[in-house]
Amino acid sequence: MEEKVRMLLNDVRPSLQADGGDVELVEVTDDGTVKVRLKGACGSCPMAQMTLKMGIEKYIKEKIPEIVKVVAV
């Protein structure tokens, strides 16, 4: 499952990089939690939480229903 998540993050990465940010996969836990690290401009952006929940999490959960949530660490 970790490889699938990694591929999906690669799909959203260009959008983040266009705004000076990036995302790094930290871990996919057994309970379906994806832990990511927002980097660059995303790390300090006030809209980062919305990007995480409404963008990254929504996309990953659509493609992999077993994922329960995506959190920034």
Question: pLDDT (tens digit, 9 = 90+) per residue, 14-61?
Answer: 999 998 999 999 999 999 999 999 999 888 888 888 989 999 999 999
Cβ neighbours, 10 Å, residue 34: 24
pLDDT at site 45: 83
- Reading phi first (left if > 0) and then psi (alpha if -120 to 50, else beta), residue 38 is in beta
